[in-house]
Amino acid sequence: MTTAARDAFFMARALYLAKKGSYTTAPNPRVGCVLVKDDLILGEGWHVKAGLGHAEVVALESVFDASGSTAYVSLEPCSHYGRTPPCCDALIKAGVSRVVVAMQDPNPQVSGRGLKKLKAAGIEVCCGVLQEEALALNRGFIKRMTQNRPFVRSKLAMSLDGRTAMASGESKWITSAESRADVQRLRAESSAILTGINTVLADDPSLNARIDQTVVQPVRVVLDTHLKMRPEARMATLPGRSLILTGTDNPQKQSALQTVGFEVYLLPCKNGRLDLLAVLEFLAAQQINEVLVEAGAVLNGALLAEALIDEYVIYMAPCILGDQGRGLFSIPGMQQMTDKKQLKLRDVRQIGQDLKLTYTPL
């Protein structure tokens, strides 16, 4: 095997391990580490949860003697004191002789300093192995670190004729049980689920991840410009945080909602509605890496019109709801073909009788 092939092989294992943290590491990135000597894996580890050991430290703890080994890490080892001490120091102390990483840490507290520190200690360093896969795995963390905004994914369920509900709003259920189970995985991967007040008033949703695995539950976020939330809403009774973002300063209503467990935040408005960019910046400040939008046509249309959606996951069911049914995106003022929003198809797969379609903006 060439060195490049060997490096890719063990990095693939590190990425596989990193993915095990998909439902639990946020706000930290998903990171995996493999320690290899003479082509044998001595030990491995992954970052399970913020506050617990980083991947490198977990891997080092799993071996008796790591000296002379190569460490494959899916993210540059950290050089700073966060909740835990620097991984660089641990690798140097253990006598690792080569460190291969998939990508630099976009965290401004690290960003290259970890690699520099390792080199200065005489360790051979190689960066960029399976970089694309590593970038995809932590796209939310990277976007928060570099753009101060979370990665935004909108999940939509529609009929074959592109309808997401009947005219009355009734929408249970368009897609199959298999697709709905898949949505639970999207929720588990997300740090927040974003919806609008009208969806909450109509459906009284739980917006939690119901999945048979350990999950750090996403934060529920409701955009409620005029503070119409009812204190009786089901989500207030569920474990975890429920945030109401509003443009209306009504202390009495706020305190009624706070009493039942809601957190209420006053945010700026634009044209009579919450400023969506301010909403995303607020969520980044709350350390939200990945947002899943589960909303109606108005919020989805507004996010699309402002080019704030990074990925669309659309489940298409083999049923027809007719032309009285509701559409996916409300975009007032769209008249001509030149106004059309063009997306790029990234993935197609069959789930039960439904199709799962993944799109990104062009």
By CB under 6 A, residue 50 contacts ligand AOF = yes
- Do 248 and 227 form a contact (C-beta atoms < 8 A)? yes
Candidate list 15, 29, 129, 174; residue touching ligand AOF; CB under 6 A: 29
Q: How far is the CB of 21 from ligand AOF (least distance, A)?
A: 8
DSSP state of 69: -
Binding site for Zn ion (CB under 5 A): 54, 78, 87
By CB under 6 A, residue 87 contacts ligand AOF = yes
Centre a 10 Å sphere on the Cβ of residue 281 and count the other Cβ atoms it contains.
16
**Which CB sits closer to Zn ion, 120 or 320?**
120
Residues 6+ apart with CB under 8 A from 137: 15, 18, 19, 30, 74
By CB under 6 A, residue 77 contacts ligand AOF = yes
**Which CB sits closer to Zn ion, 134 or 156?**
134
**Which CB sits closer to ligand AOF, 14 or 235?**
14
Strand residues in the chain grouped as ranges (E)? 32-37, 40-46, 70-73, 98-101, 124-127, 151-158, 192-196, 219-223, 242-246, 263-266, 269-270, 273-274, 290-293, 311-316, 343-351, 354-361
What does 105 bind: Zn ion, ligand AOF, none (CB cut-off 5 to 8 Å by kind)? ligand AOF
By CB under 6 A, residue 110 contacts ligand AOF = yes
Q: How far is the CB of 312 from Zn ion (least distance, A)?
A: 34
- Do 226 and 204 form a contact (C-beta atoms < 8 A)? no
- Known active-site residue 56: yes
- Return the residue matching tokens 């305190």: 255
Question: Residues binding ligand AOF: what is the number (CB under 6 A)?
Answer: 18
* Of residues 28, 20, 31, the one with CA closest to residue 76: 31
What does 31 bind: ligand AOF, Zn ion, none (CB cut-off 5 to 8 Å by kind)? ligand AOF
Q: Known catalytic residues?
A: 56
Question: Which residues sit at the interface with ligand AOF, rule CB under 6 A?
Answer: 28-29, 31, 47, 50, 54-56, 75, 77-78, 82-84, 87, 105, 107, 110
